[in-house]
Homo-oligomer: A and B are copies of this chain.
């Protein structure tokens, strides 16, 4: 069914999808495009794509399934550009970390019988450093791949079949799929993904102030510190769009954590501290 795939954006995620499709046995063509050509060349040399497209629009037109693997605002821009050009024999899907605005645009610009289908997606996988050179065919093994599909959307039979086909390839790449409405999605990832990221950023930035000038003191922390600050290496360029498109839910999660830390701070010598540890232990129960 799905024979021609375009990957627009051959960074960490896009290149990993190309590698994972090949590892899962996909025999069709994979054309890659990237704003900076060197990343597309890296993806090509790794075998994640068969060829490099010279233009995002033309590359999309020539394929059946178009994966947008670029930051959120760039995804929204390309959606506007592609909507009038692609037709009912195309499926677009994405990997954006927030789904509110993308799902709104998907309903407005796509998913009518005369237009391409758009299936909003979000693989819960990544690394703290991006780039095609970090790509990994196993990145999605055991990960959850969320979709914010809308059963009310009216798709052409061809594009609906491509959407089913894409879901099957996601499973073959090793992921488990789960469907969440866009609002529930954005609230949930604010807790389980965005809050951990901003916590690691805050902790890393604070420690850079406190002990950053003394590498021998940074090293004292050991594995616990390395893990709690690993995400501190994440690039602002990606998280800016997430912060802009999920502001309220992230702010609510951050404020809740501030209050929780204050509660612990005020109870370092009281039995309340035990209750907090026991609640934390429950979250980590096997």
Residues of A in contact with B (beta carbons under 8 Å apart): 124-126, 128, 143-144, 146, 178, 188-189, 191-193, 195-212, 216-225, 227-236, 239-240, 243-244, 247, 250-251, 254-258, 260-265, 268-269, 273-274, 276-284
Contact across chains for B209 and A228 when beta carbons are under 8 A apart: no
Contact across chains for B202 and A261 when beta carbons are under 8 A apart: yes
What are 23 of the A-B contact pairs (CB < 8 Å)?
A128-B284, A188-B211, A188-B217, A188-B220, A189-B220, A191-B210, A192-B220, A192-B221, A193-B221, A198-B261, A199-B203, A204-B280, A205-B277, A206-B256, A218-B283, A227-B231, A229-B284, A232-B283, A233-B280, A243-B268, A250-B268, A254-B265, A255-B265
User: Roughly how many angstroms separate A229 CA and B65 CA in the complex, as a whole number?
Assistant: 37
Contact across chains for A212 and B283 when beta carbons are under 8 A apart: yes
Contact across chains for B284 and A233 when beta carbons are under 8 A apart: yes
User: Roughly how many angstroms separate A194 CA and B227 CA in the complex, as a whole number?
Assistant: 14
Contact across chains for B212 and A199 when beta carbons are under 8 A apart: no
Q: Specify which chain B residues have a CB less than 8 angstroms from the CB of A284 in the assembled complex.
A: 128, 204, 229-230, 232-233
Q: Given known contacts A243-B268, A254-B264, A257-B261, is B205 in contact with A283 (CB within 8 Å)?
A: yes
Contact across chains for A206 and B257 when beta carbons are under 8 A apart: yes
For A277, the closest partner residue in chain B by CB is B236
Contact across chains for B251 and A268 when beta carbons are under 8 A apart: yes
Q: Specify which chain B residues have a CB less than 8 angstroms from the CB of A210 in the assembled complex.
A: 191, 256
Contact across chains for B232 and A280 when beta carbons are under 8 A apart: yes
Top 8 A-B residue pairs of the complex, sorted by shortest distance between their CB atoms: A236-B277, A192-B221, A204-B280, A232-B280, A208-B283, A205-B279, A233-B284, A196-B228
